[in-house]
Each structure stands twice: as structure tokens, then as C-alpha cells.
Chain A
Amino acid sequence: MQLYGEEIGSRLLLGTAQYPSPQILAEAVEASGTEIITVSLRREGADGAGTGFWQLIKELGVKVLPNTAGCHTAKEAVTTAQMAREVFGSNWIKLEVIGHSDNLQPDVFGLVEAARILSDEGFQVFPYTTDDLVVGEKLLEAGCEVLMPWGAPIGSGQGLRNPDALRAMRAHFPNVPLIVDAGIGRPSDACMAMELGMDAVLLNTAVAKAGDPGWMGAAMAQAIDAGRQGFAAQMMERRDMAVPSTPILGMAVFD
């Protein structure tokens, strides 16, 4: 998988929040085989907590995708992205412009505006967006080369609320990397996203809040791999009626 010209082996992108401990975060990162983890920026006290976290992240040896989580306007998101670029030394930014505090859905108007500004400033934008095709087109026009449609509201673990819309995105944007971001709760959700032809899955809570995050990281990686292979191998069409798998020809007659 190529993301902004970089070859990425793992199709699982993992968030770093909400783990029981830094040690368990490190275990989950390793067990999942992820090559990209998301991080954020927050107010720093003089105790240097953020510097300590950054040290841990660097030791994990994976690529970092900083986010603009919590930003509600394009301006906030742009400023946060500029600050993230300086701290993390990367042009990659997971762009979130939140439009509603209840369901954390993207403000797609602010998102497109911020994506344009940041792309013009040389950022490589990973926009957290809805599954709307027109918004996707506007984001590509704004300079994005990756789209990250939601599966369900952030942290809800509801899985894919609208698989048809994701299928339509795959058909409409055949050559754009599509990463389902948000809403994945279980391995089967991640597998389904991949069966629909998504290029990757970004998740956090499903692993961090699992009883055993390391184990769940591994399970997610396997589910993503299985779904990807299923898509590549081209699944059979559903049928309305039963069709015997075993040939009728040559059946014995006993009456």
C-alpha cells in the first residue's frame, strides 16, 4: 500500500490513546504489526509529561501520524497541524475538524477548507471524513491523496453503519487509498471493511479497551489480512436460493 509515496506493509493503523499503561500500548503496537500510529498534541505542563511520551513513541520505531483531534474549526485545525509538523517533523497530518460534539461527526465544510490550506503549505493530509462521495471529491481537489471515511462514530465500536456507502466510495475512487477511520469495534468489523475493498483500517478504542490489548491487536491484524485476501480473491455473489454444492448426478435411488 502506498500512502503519499511511502510503501506501507501493514494495513492496520493504530491509535495510542486509552491503553491501561505505556507498556501495554507498546505490546499492542508490536503484536498488531502496525507501521503507523496516531498521536496528538495537548497542553504541556512544566513536568514534561509530553516529552516522556514522545520518547516512548520514538522507541517504538514506527511512523507517526499526528492528528488534530478535538479541533472544531478549520483555523484551530490548521494551527494544530502547523504545531504538530514542528514537533513530529513530518508533513503527515490526520485532519479532524469536528462538527458536532455528540457524535463527533466531521464538519466537512471546515475539513475541505483546512485540507486546502494545509495541502498548499506542503502537508500530506489524511482527512477524517464521512462516506459522502461529493465531499470525497472536494477533498481530492483540495490536494488530499488519501480519504479516511468513518465506519461509525468515534469510539462507538458500532462497526460499519453504512457498508453500501463504503462500497460506493470504493467504486467511485478506484485508485485513491481509502482507510476506514473510527467505529471499528471487533475483528469482524475490520475484516468486513477490507472485504469491501478498503485499503486499510485505523482503529484505537477496539484494541485499547479490549480485555487484552496485545492479543486484540494481533486479532485485528489477522482479520484485516483475511479480509484483504478475500477481496483480492474475489468473493462469490450471494444467491437468493439454495444451490446444492454436491452434484445431484449419480445419486442412488433407494425407493
Chain B
Amino acid sequence: MRILVNGEATEIQASNIAAVLDELLYEGEALATALNGQFVAREQRQETALQAGDQLEILAPMQGG
């Protein structure tokens, strides 16, 4: 199915957030996720199912003021 990952239309096989991170080769602990504007904690990623058209945000630390 097709979802938006960080604003980009992306075709995925995975059906939950944890699996999407694996499928798209995201690694490391310093990642946070939100689905359709709602924060999804690390331990909820596995159980958070995805539907076509969902908006997934994957954020990581960056320089800031």
C-alpha cells in the first residue's frame, strides 16, 4: 500500500510502524514516530497498524536554537 513517509508517497509492504522502519532501513535508537499527527511511542510501534494514505513522520535529532 501507499503511505506518506515524511511527506513522500512511499509504497510499502509492512503493515505496522515497526515493520516500516525495518523495511525502509531506518536504524538506531534516536528516532521518534508520529502517525497522522499523533505521537506513537517506541513500544506501540509494533501494534500500530497502517492504512493506505496514512501520514507517518519519522524524526531524529537535529541542530536547533
Contact = CB atoms under 8 A, between A and B. Distances in A.
Contacts of B37: 75-76, 79
A39 B39 contact: no
- The range of chain B's interface size is 20 to 34
Contacts of A38: 64-65
Contacts of B32: 41, 82-84, 86-87
Nearest to B6: A43
Interface residues of A, number: 39
A42 B60 contact: yes
A51 B62 contact: no
Contact of B61 (A19, A54, A155, A205): A54
Interface in B1-42: 6-7, 24-34, 37-39, 41-42
Contacts of A67: 64-65
Interface string B36-65: 011101100000000000000111111111
Interface stretch (A10-18, A143-151, A171-179): A10-18
B58 A48 contact: no
A31 interface: no
A53 B42 CA distance: 20
Given A16-B63, A38-B64, 20 more contacts: A15-B63, A16-B64, A40-B61, A40-B64, A41-B59, A43-B6, A43-B59, A44-B31, A44-B59, A44-B60, A51-B27, A51-B31, A54-B30, A54-B60, A67-B65, A75-B37, A82-B32, A86-B32, A87-B31, A205-B65
